[in-house]
Chain A
């Protein structure tokens, strides 16, 4: 029983946490690619920026003496989402729209997005320093422990408060996005434009509006993902820059331009990473009693050493690009 609990704690919970973050980021990347046809590299830093906006707001609330049962960083999330979305619109207006108007190639936009990455990263570190901040302003991180002694387990299943919140929020956002894309007029227009931009424009769809909505969705989801990551781990300036590549891997594995694919890809990459570094001996130890002396399991039976955890995502990315570049859901290939 303990082995199963260990597995749940180490693989199921942490894989789902990571998967939620990857999925939220990858949806933004994939939507921007579907509508604007370029790989938006600055998405990771938009996540970091969103997290820092939430941090500032939470600090301000704490300074006003507000005390609530939930983490303040979570309470301020809607406001932070709006601010991040507005900044995302501003970035598009200032840096990408002029290039698009000139008819620049997607590659030029990709390079421009790297410029934006550098600017955001430089600014965030300039303002907040390069050290680690805590987004828990004057609150401890609560840990829920599910007692498993009724099932014969000696250790509890533990899950932290932000992790639980993250599951709920991700599920809500995904359902909301699904309803938006399939039920609303604007969502349908978005899918039409992702499918064929020229045809969408001819049939009277306001493409400028669709572009703006895309940035609003991508920006606010990036803010949620960044804040959740900061609540779960810690708030650092290079928080999301390190995970922008796994996010791209998730978006590509799911098929670029395909919102549901991005969600599946996010969880796929996250579980692949978690399972690859998982020490299987911890689960298979009972077998040692059955196996003969010569075949005893070694102390560490992980597929790859822990320091190569992120490499797993890149290997999956490269293999996907080589074997099936359109991803599992046949995303946009042009």
Chain B
């Protein structure tokens, strides 16, 4: 960091002026998108960007504040989405009137019995069983618990899928579903963090990617709970749907704009609340302690800070925001499709947002989220335009038209994302609005 205090830096170097200029530029881009693509699709982009900004804030807590590597973002988004499905989707009476709940109850009991068995065997050193014998017993207990649970859940799952399709929801308000998404993410993050936070950064990255893929495989294949690849739709909105507005006599074009504006307002309220909380936490003693751990965890530990415990806190808090964000996105698109989740769109893109925006600076991260999401969405039509022109050119010189322009242009955004991240790492590793480090001498 330069020795000059923030007040004396001029022009581009002043973080405040830089931030204001960048936000103004982003506003102009949003307006331009609105003029070119229409208000309704601009609102669509804005709502989704707001959801991604919330998720990026979650990653900022983990990576920006605490230096924790989390590549399991996709898993948490799926957990958030599946949780909001469970809470807010209309009640499936076929399921509740069948034997399904009872079978699931038995599976739950089998699960608890298995868990109890493993816990009991893990305590076997108290009666003098130690060393290799204990390890063998623990492995056997895990295996027995797994077989027991599988023997109960398999018939239950098959029965539910045959009679009722899937469990259905509880029919509660979607906002409750969002909170529930955050809660379930927090619980899962607690266990993931508990087992993996002791690992070094790059091992942690690989472990979290693995865990995220395990979560995806589970959610995708537990048809009885999430309906798997058959997808759940339509999900209810917390605000009136365009169709409801049309029923009240609103024109179709206006109804989409009005409904999306209402949803956007709600999403922005959630984002603002989260932002204020996260920003206040950054400035407070808690945030200072987290930065101390991030910058030198050995010295922080020697000052008496509980490093792993604090990192677990960060991991859980960040994952709550990811779960809520994932729930908002699933509710907004009205469809929960487990096969629609990809590491590129749902893990790496969030990382690009945080790094390009400026890890550790919440304003930067929100800016990065909106900017990268717009770049992501806009590079598809731009690439199509380029391809169509190229295609016309190749036709003129007699090579024939370029086939499958649509699907190819869609891939352009993956390439653009890769270019953006490598360029950012090389030329602006601290991001567009870097973290402001206050030094008091």
Binding site for B on A (CB under 8 A): 38-39, 95, 98-99, 104-108, 110-112, 114-123, 125-126, 129-131, 245, 248-249, 252, 305, 307-308, 310-311, 313-315, 317-318, 321-322, 325
Contact = CB atoms under 8 A, between A and B. Distances in A.
Contacts of B348: 114, 118
9 contacts: A107-B69, A111-B421, A118-B417, A119-B422, A125-B407, A126-B415, A129-B404, A314-B210, A318-B196
B94 interface: no
A106 B418 contact: no
A4 B277 CA distance: 63
Interface string B214-232: 1001001100000000000
B408 A125 contact: yes
B426 interface: yes
B298 interface: no
A325 B221 contact: no
A59 B348 CA distance: 34
Q: Which range holds the interface residue count of chain B?
A: 35 or more
Interface stretch (B199-207, B240-248, B392-400): B199-207
A318 B426 contact: no
Contacts of B200: 325
B237 to A, nearest CB: 32
B209 A245 contact: yes
Nearest to A37: B202
A174 B86 CA distance: 51
A315 B210 CA distance: 8
B344 interface: yes
B202 A107 contact: yes
Contact of A107 (B201, B214, B412, B416): B201
Contact of A118 (B205, B214, B415, B426): B415
A252 B411 contact: no
B206 A311 contact: no
B429 interface: yes
A91 to B, nearest CB: 10
Given A117-B418, A126-B408, 10 more contacts: A95-B422, A106-B202, A111-B421, A118-B348, A119-B415, A119-B419, A120-B418, A122-B412, A311-B217, A318-B211
A119 B418 contact: yes
Contacts of A322: 195-196
A126 B429 contact: no
B415 A123 contact: yes
A325 B203 contact: yes
A38 B69 CA distance: 14
Contact of A314 (B195, B199, B213, B221): B213
A99 B211 contact: no
Contact of B221 (A114, A117, A126, A307): A307
Contacts of A121: 344, 411, 414-415, 418
A39 B202 contact: yes
A110 B202 contact: yes
A38 B201 CA distance: 10
> 6 shortest A-B CB distances, which residue pairs?
A122-B415, A118-B418, A119-B418, A122-B414, A314-B210, A115-B421
B436 interface: no
Given A106-B201, A245-B209, A245-B213, A321 B426 contact: no
- Give the interface centre of B69, B344, B419 by most chain A CB atoms within 10 Å: B344
B207 A317 contact: yes
A242 B248 CA distance: 48
Given A126-B408, A318-B211, A112 B422 contact: yes
A241 to B, nearest CB: 8
Contacts of A245: 206, 209-210, 213
- Give the interface centre of A111, A112, A117, A310 by most chain B CB atoms within 10 Å: A111
Contact of B418 (A39, A116, A308): A116
A88 to B, nearest CB: 16
